[in-house]
Structure 1
Amino acid sequence: MSNQKKRNFQIEAYRHRVVLDPKYAEKTWKVLEHAIREIYNRNASGLSFEELYRNAYNMVLHKFGDKLYSGLVSTMTSHLKEIAKSIEAAQGGLFLEELNRKWAEHNKALQMIRDILMYMDRTFIPCNRKTPVHELGLNLWRDNVIHSIKIQTRLQDTLLEIVQRERTGEVINRGLMRNIIKMLMDLGFSVYQEDFEKPFLEVSADFYRGESQHFIECCDCGDYLKKTERRLNEEIERVSQYLDAKSEAKITSVVEKEMIKSHMHQLVHMENSGLVNMLVDDKYEDLGRMYNLFRRVSNGLSIIRDVMTSHTRDTGKQLVTDPERLKDPVDFVQRLLDEKDKYDKIISLAFNYDKTFQNALNSSFVYFINLNPRSPEYISLFVDDKLRKGLKGVSEEDVETVLDKVMILFRYLQEKDVFEKYYKQHLAKRLLSGKSVSEDAERSLIVKLKTECGYQFTSKLEGMFTDMKTSQDTMQGFYASMGSEMAENPTLHVQVLTTGSWPTQLSATCNLPPEILGLCEKFRMYYLGAHSGRRLTWQTNMGTADLKATFGKGQKHELNVSTYQMCILMLFNSADRQSYKEIEQATEIPVSDLKRCLQSLACVKGKNVLRKEPMSKNIAENDTFLVNEQFTSKFYKVKIGTVVAQKESEPEKQETRQRVEEDRKPQIEAAIVRIMKSRRVLDHNNIVTEVTKQLQSRFLPNPVLIKKRIESLIEREFLERDNVDRKLYRYLA
């Protein structure tokens, strides 16, 4: 193979030129022109599309593409002008139907023409930067039909009139509308916009401006919102049925502007039916509708939120400052809880759990709860009421639910340390009198408080429970040590309280009966023998006693009384009659307590085991007391309470406030030292800001008090002032 010579082949062109018929182009075009007219006249069945394609192909091949293209433009233009005339001639409702029919025929014809001229479409048109056949057909339709003088305005008016008829409740031919609108979009989005969308939006704005004005004058707020919601939904449906999807945002924006934004303030403040009325009457559906409509426009939700905040603050302020409602602390707190439940439900059902609304509600509660300085005390009294035994129809689960709600109110308190003071007092009374609904409920609340405020807040409260348990063990040991002696003595139950953990109690003087005094001394000896270095102080103002009593006709009862009341009653074992002065001298009970005890023993109907001479509701120093021999009760056990105000008296309130202020001083100082230890140098305003931030979980420290504590720390040489800038402080290590 390698020895063979290479052979080169050459192909030569024809030696003679192919000469075309001079009339070739004209003849071929006539054939194609005829075919195009036949297609438009719906007589295409007799045409040979293969032959027509070949003719068009050869014209392009032989450089007659220009003639073919310009002939196509001319033929289509003249035909479309004829079509325009037939559409113009259509009367009334037939106008759109004729336009739709001719458009469908034009599209079908255009497809066939494009098939015949496919070669021109793919080669000649791109090379010569001409408009493709299909696009050309659309442009010519636009220019000669849609934009003809007699059709353009008529088409626009007809479409807008049909939309208007549909808005007034008429049923229209949506299929026909869909086809016509699609035709405008097929002709280019700018055609759809200019010939329909822009005028559509303009007349819609006029329509809704007028309608909203009519509605605002004759409807209440709820009805207006329903009508607005219906109109919005209608427009959204209209777009989905026969308009371009991009029009939805534009038409809804028109409705929102004219029907919502223009009348927002008027709707919210509408007399007898506006937002405040909806809130008062719990109209969740109307509120939800307002929320969903107003959220569509800028500032819509802030208007609702501001009015809600203003209303809740006003009603809350009335609730916490109304003297009538301050008479019953439990009712006071229950109303706050009801108010919170009410608005929580509104926010969940109507405002879609909107966080901004929840935050606004919380800030309102913080505002008005702290307007009443007694709110911490009242919340503690409410808890005390719920945690006491004997609540009818309240299960432990119900108590737990109530405690969770109370914790929400507790979070709103700015003076949590004041609540702690009262809570400690009330808890002490419950524990010492054994009147708690359950230890689990008590401990559950302490866990909640610890979670909210930290260990330090509850450490002393937990110490109280520890003391109660230790006291039980101590008493078992004491009884075991007494042995048979116990049978001869009254039963004694002592609770030993750690001084720092329990509320500070003034050691009130009281002379115990000899029978009790001897037993108390035995317990003292036992306890101090078991625990060296400790000191016991009897708190007679906190104890209770059970006495067995026999009255004139032999009726026997067991009286449950306070220690003070026991001391008074046991005086009557040795004398039938005692004057006020004699009782005071014998017992040495403080005057205010003595008068309350005597009042509860002699002046309370059904509990009056003593008689008073002269008879009156108040105790006077010249009164005389006797055993009420006629006393009787249908119960064997009779509990005699002490006449005492549920709330603190004004002097007691002042005393508690003073103790709170004293307790705050070391906390403020500790915070200042912590801050200065880490920052070393800091100016006055920043110290105040940092201290407030650190202590706000317990209370809001007064800037004046912070300044005083800074002065105190400077005096004790923890801090010093800068020599140049007197508002700058340095930490002294």
Structure 2
Amino acid sequence: MSSQKKRGIQIEAFKHRVVVDSKYAERTWKVLEHAIHEIYNHNASGLSFEELYRNAYNMVLHKFGEKLYSGLVATMTLHLKDIAASVEASQGLSFLEELNRKWTEHNKALQMIRDILMYMDRTFIPGTHKTPVHELGLNLWRDNIIYYTSIQTRLRNTLLEIVQRERNGEVVDRGLMRNIVQMLMDLGPSVYQQVFEKPFLDTSANFYRGESQQFIECCDCGDYLTKAEKRLNEEIERVSHYLDEQSEVKITNVVEKEMIESQMTRLVHMENSGLVSMIVDDKYDDLSRIYTLFRRVSSGLMLLRDVMMSHIRETGKHLVTDPERVKDPVDFVQRLLDERSKHDKIVNLAFSSDKTFQTALNSSFEYFINLNPRSPEFISLFVDDKLRKGLKGVSEEEAENVLDKVMVLFRYLQEKDVFEKYYKQHLAKRLLSGRSVSEDAERSLILKLKTECGYQFTSKLEGMFTDMKTSHDTMQGFNLAMARVLANGPILTVYVLTTGSWPTQSTPTCNLPPEILTVCEKFKTYYLGTHNGRRLTWQTNMGSADIKATFSGGQKHELNVSTYQMCVLMLFNNVDWLSYKEIEQAVEIPTVELKRCLQSLACAKGKNVLRKEPMSKDVSETDYFFFNDKFSSRFYKVKIGMVAAQKESEPEKQETRQRVEEDRKPQIEAAIVRVMKARRVLDHNNIVAEVTKQLQSRFLANPVVIKKRIESLIEREFLERDREDRKLYRYLA
């Protein structure tokens, strides 16, 4: 590679003196004119380009540039008229071939002419503001060939005909088309647009308008979309092969308008094949296609979103309000989770995780889940079912996945504090009965709730776990201290529960058997002796017991029962039968609980350690109960559960709701004080709006309740009304 610097070409005047006679200009032009004729006639091989360049140079030098330029225009125009006649005379497809060939020849000729007239191009033309030689050649070709009326019409029609043939499936000469289109572009974008692009777009619009009408009448939505997508891709491919790249947006807009936008409402609502049908049948390919195509038009995605939202809301509303569905809370929530998973998959796979559709999905689920006031209770029951038995044997990752899905539903709840009430009750039962499948899963869910709602939401739940551990340590100390005293007596396990952390419980009456009562008193004496200023209240309704029983033939079983069931069974240690009234008088258990207790002991098939007369499914106050000496089971340990519905009774529901409403009052008041402390003076509507916003992570505050709490704060002199404007409140520091 040479290291010498390349020097630019310099054109210098000849050193020898040139004598100009009167006929010099005419004679010199004749030489140049002849050369131009020879170039166009393909006889340029015999020409001396150096001599021709010198002649053109001298004409410009001696002020004959105007004659040279005008002569060039006239000569080129003459040849182009002959070319136009030749192109016009060509037949069929040879028309384009002839045009392409002549165009190629013209470009070669133009290059040689430009070389000869280089000096004129660089000096005379800039000074006189005339068109440069190459551009002049293109303009003359445009005006004499392309804009020649019969050629222009024929060229346009031929190009459009070839495009139509290709749309009909025929194979066309794309190379020839590319050359012709490139010729039009070389002549200027306006030439390409005027001669071809505008009529191309107009005829395409007519074609696709007709085709869309034809398809919409005979195709279902999926087939129509497939055909529309195919046409769209064909046009994009056509542009890449032989049209100008700027045409892609224009022609795709035509296809989108005629095949998608004009038909999209009809397509979306097509019976048995529209968007709803695709969603119901999980047609991911069709859904992906409708999303991809509709996003190309301005309101396409909004239409899809609205129809999807309407469908999900209707489906969800039916699901949460159907009386048959709400009979089984676990199935109720599982169906919600299945619906969520189904639509999540559609949004992620078919709709490219589009935020618009994710927001619509969340909005729809929040709408219909809160239509059922028992949704918080049912979600807690579902969690209870999973943590008691549903997650047994599954991997940690699968358990986390289930809990994550539950949390998605939890986020939709407007009354999260209602969920908290039920969850606390269910968690208490799991912890006290030792029936949770995994402490890790329990703590994982509490951590998720804490992340979602903050420390205050889970502080009491975490306190329940603390009490369980403290109780374990307390029992170790008690057993060690009473080892000799309790050597032959019942083994007692006590959980000391902190008031406030655990669900609020009434203290029902229950007469414990003397053997149990003695041990309980010893524990009470021990506990109060080690903890000053505390008070113990026995929650017999929350306990359980393992008792050993001997039946006929000396067959022995260990029965796992509730504390209530234990009290009833131990009455039969000394008698063979008792009436309902006698049992009720002896144990003093609340009537509802006693009937459930006796029903589970005497009416549950395979676990009836008592017999009831007369035999029936329900317990009445005239019944008699007998020890079932013939009871047998293939298991040594037999668990006898209490007959109980998963759902609350109506009075229990009212009681829970009342407790929730009571718990909300101090939270609403605290929010009002926080708002007023920051704002000092505020009108009623703005207080309601800001308090609602502050509390929405836990529950949806009722404006009527907020008004009552404001009045309560005024009575207690935290706030006062403005003397002039009664709608304004002032904070009293």
Q: What range describes the TM-score normalised by the shorter chain of this pair?
A: over 0.9
SS at match of 2:607: coil
SS at match of 1:442: helix
1:152 partnered with 2:152: yes
Judged with a 3 Å threshold, the aligned counterparts in structure 2 of structure 1 residues 18 and 199 are, in CA distance, closer, same or farther, namely closer
* Matched residue, 2:52: 52
1:203 partnered with 2:203: yes
* Matched residue, 1:590: 590
SS at match of 2:516: helix
CA distance in 2, matches of 1:368, 1:607: 42
CA distance in 1, matches of 2:679, 2:18: 103
1:308 partnered with 2:343: no
SS at match of 2:558: strand
CA distance in 2, matches of 1:670, 1:352: 44
Q: Deviations over 1:536-566 (max 9, x none)?
A: 1111101001111011232211110000000
Deviation at 1:391, TM superposition (A): 5.2
* Matched residue, 2:117: 117
CA distance in 1, matches of 2:397, 2:190: 67
CA distance in 2, matches of 1:61, 1:400: 91
CA distance in 2, matches of 1:491, 1:223: 74
- Count, aligned residues: 717
Between 1:614-623 and 1:427-436, the stretch displaced more is 614-623
Judged with a 3 Å threshold, the aligned counterparts in structure 2 of structure 1 residues 58 and 418 are, in CA distance, closer, same or farther, namely same
The 8 Å contact of residues 568 and 583 in structure 2, kept in 1 or not, is answered as yes
**Residues 596-635 of structure 1 correspond to what in structure 2 (within 5 A)?**
596-635=596-635
Runs of 5+ unmatched residues, structure 2: 1-16
Q: Which amino acid aligns with 1:300?
A: G
**Residues 334-345 of structure 1 correspond to what in structure 2 (within 5 A)?**
334-345=334-345
CA distance in 2, matches of 1:274, 1:369: 26
SS at match of 1:429: helix
Deviation at 1:395, TM superposition (A): 3.2
SS at match of 2:547: strand
* Matched residue, 2:261: 261
Q: Which amino acid aligns with 1:513?
A: P
CA distance in 2, matches of 1:397, 1:77: 83
CA distance in 1, matches of 2:49, 2:579: 135
CA distance in 1, matches of 2:88, 2:390: 92
Identity of aligned residues (%): 81
SS at match of 2:496: coil
* Matched residue, 1:10: none
The 8 Å contact of residues 392 and 437 in structure 2, kept in 1 or not, is answered as no
* Matched residue, 2:662: 662
Deviation at 1:394, TM superposition (A): 2.8
CA distance in 2, matches of 1:572, 1:286: 70
CA distance in 2, matches of 1:194, 1:123: 34
CA distance in 2, matches of 1:693, 1:18: 97
* Matched residue, 1:646: 646
Q: Which amino acid aligns with 2:530?
A: A
CA distance in 1, matches of 2:395, 2:600: 32
Q: Deviations over 1:582-640 (max 9, x none)?
A: 00000000000000000000001001000011111111111110011111111111100
CA distance in 2, matches of 1:639, 1:524: 28
CA distance in 2, matches of 1:26, 1:415: 102
Judged with a 3 Å threshold, the aligned counterparts in structure 2 of structure 1 residues 256 and 483 are, in CA distance, closer, same or farther, namely same
SS at match of 1:547: strand
1:234 partnered with 2:234: yes
CA distance in 1, matches of 2:390, 2:353: 37
Deviation at 1:732, TM superposition (A): 1.1
CA distance in 2, matches of 1:442, 1:432: 14
CA distance in 2, matches of 1:453, 1:138: 74
After TM superposition, the runs of 4+ consecutive aligned structure 1 residues lying more than 3 A away are 389-393
CA distance in 2, matches of 1:621, 1:241: 93
The 8 Å contact of residues 387 and 399 in structure 1, kept in 2 or not, is answered as no
Q: Deviations over 1:424-478 (max 9, x none)?
A: 0000000000001111111111111111111111111111111111111111111
* Matched residue, 2:698: 698
CA distance in 2, matches of 1:344, 1:338: 10
Q: Deviations over 1:217-275 (max 9, x none)?
A: 11111111111111111111111111111111111110010011101100100111000
CA distance in 2, matches of 1:523, 1:390: 36
* Matched residue, 2:394: 394
Deviation at 1:19, TM superposition (A): 5.6
Q: Which amino acid aligns with 1:528?
A: L
**Residues 31-46 of structure 1 correspond to what in structure 2 (within 5 A)?**
31-46=31-46
The 8 Å contact of residues 391 and 399 in structure 2, kept in 1 or not, is answered as no
CA distance in 2, matches of 1:563, 1:514: 14
1:681 partnered with 2:684: no
The 8 Å contact of residues 460 and 500 in structure 2, kept in 1 or not, is answered as yes
1:636 partnered with 2:636: yes
Q: Which amino acid aligns with 1:527?
A: Y
Judged with a 3 Å threshold, the aligned counterparts in structure 2 of structure 1 residues 718 and 562 are, in CA distance, closer, same or farther, namely same
The 8 Å contact of residues 508 and 589 in structure 1, kept in 2 or not, is answered as yes
SS at match of 2:632: coil
* Matched residue, 1:8: none
CA distance in 2, matches of 1:274, 1:56: 74
* Matched residue, 1:178: 178
1:518 partnered with 2:499: no
* Matched residue, 1:540: 540
Q: Which amino acid aligns with 2:661?
A: E
CA distance in 2, matches of 1:83, 1:677: 92
CA distance in 2, matches of 1:61, 1:317: 93
Between 1:474-483 and 1:195-204, the stretch displaced more is 474-483
Deviation at 1:523, TM superposition (A): 0.6
**Residues 266-415 of structure 1 correspond to what in structure 2 (within 5 A)?**
266-389=266-389, 393-415=393-415
CA distance in 2, matches of 1:283, 1:389: 35
1:715 partnered with 2:715: yes
Q: Deviations over 1:15-41 (max 9, x none)?
A: xx9862211111111111111000000
CA distance in 2, matches of 1:600, 1:391: 27
* Matched residue, 2:6: none
The 8 Å contact of residues 540 and 563 in structure 1, kept in 2 or not, is answered as yes
The 8 Å contact of residues 414 and 696 in structure 1, kept in 2 or not, is answered as yes
The 8 Å contact of residues 321 and 372 in structure 1, kept in 2 or not, is answered as yes
CA distance in 2, matches of 1:546, 1:588: 21
The 8 Å contact of residues 553 and 629 in structure 1, kept in 2 or not, is answered as no
1:504 partnered with 2:494: no
Q: Deviations over 1:674-715 (max 9, x none)?
A: 111111111000000010011000000000000000011111
Q: Which amino acid aligns with 2:689?
A: T
CA distance in 1, matches of 2:323, 2:527: 50
The 8 Å contact of residues 508 and 541 in structure 2, kept in 1 or not, is answered as yes
CA distance in 2, matches of 1:459, 1:375: 23
* Matched residue, 1:73: 73
SS at match of 1:725: coil
Between 1:363-372 and 1:391-400, the stretch displaced more is 391-400
1:22 partnered with 2:31: no
SS at match of 2:501: coil
Q: Which amino acid aligns with 1:304?
A: L
* Matched residue, 2:8: none
* Matched residue, 1:4: none
CA distance in 2, matches of 1:675, 1:64: 92
Deviation at 1:389, TM superposition (A): 4.4
SS at match of 1:114: helix
* Matched residue, 1:430: 430
SS at match of 1:296: coil
Q: Which amino acid aligns with 1:732?
A: L
CA distance in 2, matches of 1:391, 1:203: 64
Judged with a 3 Å threshold, the aligned counterparts in structure 2 of structure 1 residues 18 and 572 are, in CA distance, closer, same or farther, namely closer
Q: Which amino acid aligns with 1:274?
A: G
CA distance in 2, matches of 1:141, 1:121: 19
Q: Which amino acid aligns with 1:335?
A: R
Q: Which amino acid aligns with 1:440?
A: D
CA distance in 2, matches of 1:99, 1:338: 66
RMSD: 1.0
SS at match of 1:483: coil
CA distance in 2, matches of 1:574, 1:534: 38
CA distance in 1, matches of 2:667, 2:357: 35
Deviation at 1:390, TM superposition (A): 7.3
* Matched residue, 1:104: 104
* Matched residue, 2:475: 475
CA distance in 2, matches of 1:212, 1:201: 16
